[in-house]
Amino acid sequence: MIERILIAGGGTGGHVYPAVAVAEEVLARNPEAQILFIGTERGMEARILPKLGYALRTITVSRLKGGGLFTRLLGLMRIPVAMFQSWRIMAKLKPQVVLGVGGYASGPTLLTAWLTLRRTAIQEQNATPGFTNRVLSKIAKRVFVGFAAAKAHFRASKVLETGNPLRMSVKRSLEDGGLRDFSEGQNLRLLIFGGSQGARFLNEQVPALIQAFKKQHPDVQLTVIHQTGVHDLESTHARYESGDLDASTWKVTAYIDDMASAYANADLAITRAGALTIAELMAVGMPSLLVPFPFAADNHQEANARSLLVRGACHMVRQSEWKEGEIVDWLSDLTEDRQKLIEMSRAARGEARLDAAPTIVDHLEELAA
C-alpha cells in the first residue's frame, strides 16, 4: 500500500489526466495516502489539479528541446534550480515512490529522486516516446507505456505495456455505454472534435466536407456535433450556417462536458490522435477518421493513429493529404455498408485497456515496498 507518492510532470491535459487517474487509484486503495504533484505555473496542471483537490507544488523549469539557442540555454541553466526545488519538496514529503508522466517538470524531479536513492517510474502516453521520458528511462525502475509500439524505445526488462489510464468517472461513463449499436438504414451521426482546445484544421475543413457529402447523398439522415474550442466557435458556426444543411441536424459547441453521451450518440468520430483520445475511442469502440496533428513532437500523433490503423479500427488521413472528394467517397461506403462500421468498432474495442491505472498502481506498490 502506498502512503506517500510524488507525481511529476504535466504541461498538457494528455500528461495530467493519466496522472490523475493513477492518483485516484492510489486513494481508492488507501484514502489516507499523501499525494503531491510537481509541475509548472504555465502548464495545464496549474489549472486542472487545484480544481480536483490535489496539492501542487511548482518548480522553475523550461524546455530543452526545440526553440532557439537562447531558449535551450535558459532551460539548461534552470535545471539546477529546479532540482534544488524538487529536493526541498521531497525532503519534506519523503515519498516512497516518484512517478514521472512527461513534461518539463518531470525531468529534474526524477533526476533528483534518483540522486537521492528514491524509487522512480515513468508513464509514457504516446506510441513515440517524448524526449524527457526517453532520457528518464535510463534511471527509472519501471516504464509504463500506453502503446505497444513504444516498448521498442525502452529496455525490455523495465517496460510494461499497460495502456493509458483513464479517470474513474470517465471510465465508468464510457463503460456504461456498453457495446456500440449501429442503427440500420441511411443515416450517419458524426462527432467532430480536436481535444479541449479544438483543432483549427478540422474546424476549417470539416464543414465543407459535410456539405459536399450531403449534396452527394441528400437522402442520408445526417447529424453532426462539432466541438471547436473557444477560439474558433463563431467562425466554425458561420461555416455551417452559410451552407444548406438543415439547422436542426448540426450543433457547434466550444466544449463538450459529457463526452460519454457524445460518443453514445455518434457512429463515427473525426478527430486528432492524441493519446487519451485514442484511449477513449478504444474504450467505447468508436470508429474514427483520425487526422494527426502534424506538428506534434516527434510526430507522435501519427504513430498513435497507426496503432489503430493496422488493426482496422480507424481510417487515417494526414493533414497534408486531405482530399475532400476521397473522404466523401469513404464516408459513402460506410453509409452504404454498416458492417464496415461494426468491424471498425469491434477492432477498436478489442484494443481497449481499462485496467491501466490498477496495473500501474500494482507495480508502484511493489516499488514502494
CB atoms near residue 67 (< 10 Å): 13
Predicted confidence band of residue 315 (pLDDT cuts 50, 70, 90): very high
pTM equals 0.86
Q: DSSP 3-state assignment of 40?
A: coil
Residue 319 has pLDDT above 70, yes or no: yes
Q: DSSP 3-state assignment of 128?
A: coil
Nine cell digits for residue 182: 449501429
What are the beta bridge partners of residue 55? Answer: 36
The two beta strands, 221-227 and 187-193, are parallel
Domain boundaries, the chain: 4-166+354-368, 173-350
Residues in Cβ contact with 86 at an 8 Å cutoff, skipping those fewer than 6 apart: 8, 38, 59, 108, 109, 112, 113
Nine cell digits for residue 334: 460506410
pLDDT of residue 76: 65
Predicted confidence band of residue 213 (pLDDT cuts 50, 70, 90): very high
Of the ranges 10-14, 20-24, 179-183, the best mean pLDDT one: 20-24
Predicted confidence band of residue 299 (pLDDT cuts 50, 70, 90): very high
What are the beta bridge partners of residue 290? Answer: 271, 316
CATH architecture for segment(s) 4-166+354-368: 3-Layer(aba) Sandwich (3.40)
Residue 307 has pLDDT above 80, yes or no: yes
Neighbour-count burial for 169-192, b at 16+ CB within 10 Å, e otherwise: ebbebbeebeebebeeeeebbbbb
Residue range 96-122: average pLDDT? 95
Predicted confidence band of residue 183 (pLDDT cuts 50, 70, 90): low
Q: Kindly report, residue by residue over 343-360, the tens digit of the pLDDT.
A: 999 999 888 888 999 999
Which secondary-structure segment (H or E) carries 268? strand 268-271
How far apart are alpha carbons 59 and 42 in whole angstroms?
A: 10
Q: What is the CATH number of domain 173-350?
A: 3.40.50.2000
Higher pLDDT, 37 or 258: 37
Contact 146, 357 (CB under 8 A): no
Residues in Cβ contact with 324 at an 8 Å cutoff, skipping those fewer than 6 apart: 205, 208, 209, 212
Q: Kindly report, residue by residue over 136-170, the tens digit of the pLDDT.
A: 999 999 999 999 999 999 999 999 999 999 988 87
pLDDT of residue 257: 78
Residue 186 has pLDDT above 80, yes or no: no
Nine cell digits for residue 305: 493513429
Predicted confidence band of residue 61 (pLDDT cuts 50, 70, 90): confident
Predicted confidence band of residue 79 (pLDDT cuts 50, 70, 90): confident
Q: Alpha carbon 73 to chain centroid distance?
A: 30
Residue 75 has pLDDT above 70, yes or no: no
> Do the domains spanning 4-166+354-368 and 173-350 agree at the CATH topology level?
yes
pLDDT of residue 13: 84
